[in-house]
Amino acid sequence: MQLIRRTIVTFTILGTAAAEGWPALWCPCDACAKARKLGGKDIRRRSAYQLDERIHIDFGPDSYAQMLEFGLSYHRLEHLLITHSHADHLFPTELQYRSRGFVPDGVGTELTIHGNAHVERRIRDEVDLAKCEARFVPVTLFEPIDLGEGVIATPLLADHAGDDEMAVNYLLEREGRALLQGNDSGWWPDETWEFLATKTLDIALIECTYGPRDARRHHLGVNQVVEVRDELLKLGTINSETRVIATHFSHNGGWLYAQLEDFLRPHGIEVAWDGMQLEL
């Protein structure tokens, strides 16, 4: 009998902060002072992720710094998935540097950008996509997107960015494994919970913007991370094998890495840090 081995690709968490980064750009608060002093896992860039070399989620103002820090080669990217149009998740200006003049012989790989109508408007306001070897494809809720090489991304509805904008979280599936990118989610609307009830996750990234402060609309705090985990368990979406990881932290929450760990670890929940690598 021949044993068929599945392949593994690396999913890297490139940033784990909320909008203003941590330490925040202009902030004299205690939590930012401590982060500056401690460094390491307490330095948090704006949220983004990369799967292998081809697929990237969100493209905020720290994208260039993340490329340098984590040794990435963006010219190999084929798909850019954008969750919503907030500036910490989308900084369109940087996309224009794909055009000739900035890249003398051209990038050589077409980039397909996936996102909602607000994302499209913000990008088209600043960037001539044709000149940048890029195209835009609007996402449809709960409709799987084939990203090639067996990777499927499905946009799920989040409660974030208000009624006007359809913010999404992406479910990534590959060779029978599944990862949920769940930052900027708020408490998910019913249709997302119903969809998730049909899936089994290997990795669940859950948003934790406010630390010890309770919140359910737009963002969550540590207590809601535990609640989301419990709800996912109840639905059978996760099990004892699933890695549950909190991410997207604001200095406004005040809890540094060690304090977040002290609270979440006993619940079996990990705390994300910039550069954390996972296998999908």
Binding stretches for Zn ion (CB under 5 A): 24, 27, 29, 32, 86, 88, 184, 251
Ramachandran quadrant class, 248 (left: phi over 0; alpha: psi -120 to 50; beta: rest): left
Nearer to Zn ion, 24 or 51 (CB): 24
Q: How far is the CB of 70 from Zn ion (least distance, A)?
A: 19
Nearer to Zn ion, 20 or 227 (CB): 20
Instruction: Determine the Cα–Cα distance for residues 246 and 18; give it in Å rounded to an integer.
Output: 12
Nearer to Zn ion, 89 or 229 (CB): 89
Q: How far is the CB of 7 from Zn ion (least distance, A)?
A: 31
Instruction: Determine the Cα–Cα distance for residues 99 and 84; give it in Å rounded to an integer.
Output: 24
Instruction: Determine the Cα–Cα distance for residues 114 and 13; give it in Å rounded to an integer.
Output: 19
- Token pair listed for 262: 């002290």
Query: Is the CB of residue 145 less than 8 Å from the CB of residue 168?
Result: no
Q: How far is the CB of 17 from Zn ion (least distance, A)?
A: 8
Question: In this structure, is the dihedral angle defined by the CA atoms of residues 240, 216, 274 and 266, taken in order, positive or negative?
Answer: negative
Instruction: Determine the Cα–Cα distance for residues 140 and 116; give it in Å rounded to an integer.
Output: 8
Nearer to Zn ion, 88 or 274 (CB): 88
Q: How far is the CB of 12 from Zn ion (least distance, A)?
A: 18
Nearer to Zn ion, 74 or 249 (CB): 249
Q: How far is the CB of 27 from Zn ion (least distance, A)?
A: 3
- CA dihedral 105→132→53→272, nearest 10 degrees, is 140
Nearer to Zn ion, 50 or 99 (CB): 50
Nearer to Zn ion, 20 or 231 (CB): 20
CB burial of residue 28 (10 Å; 0-12, 13-18, 19+): exposed
Please give the distance of CA 252 from its chain centroid, rounded to a whole number: 20
Q: How far is the CB of 212 from Zn ion (least distance, A)?
A: 15
22 - beta bridge partners?
44
Q: How far is the CB of 201 from Zn ion (least distance, A)?
A: 21
* Helix (H), strand (E) at residue 244: strand 243-247
